[in-house]
Amino acid sequence: MSSEVEELDARGLLCPLPVIRTQDRVRSLADGVELIITATDPGVMQDIPAWCRVHGHVLLSAEHTGCLCVVRLRVIREKNAP
């Protein structure tokens, strides 16, 4: 599994843009890469975990502190999906 970590700054974007940007970014990442998404739209706390479930990626954490939301996921390519 990759130990690579990538970041996506989605601060200032409103639904559905954080999820769209996440999807676009994940398409370019290899299996096992961790993606950390930072956003100000609290909707990402539900939207990105749901997106992970639908697309087979692993949600590592989702934290909402003050006005920032930080969601961590691990990219899973279909061939490696459980």
In the residue annotation, 15 being an active-site residue is answered as: yes
Considering the candidates 15, 52, 67, 69, report the single residue annotated as catalytic.
15
DSSP 17: H
| Angle in degrees, CA 7, 9, 14, rounded to 5 | 140
What are the residue numbers of the active site?
Answer: 15
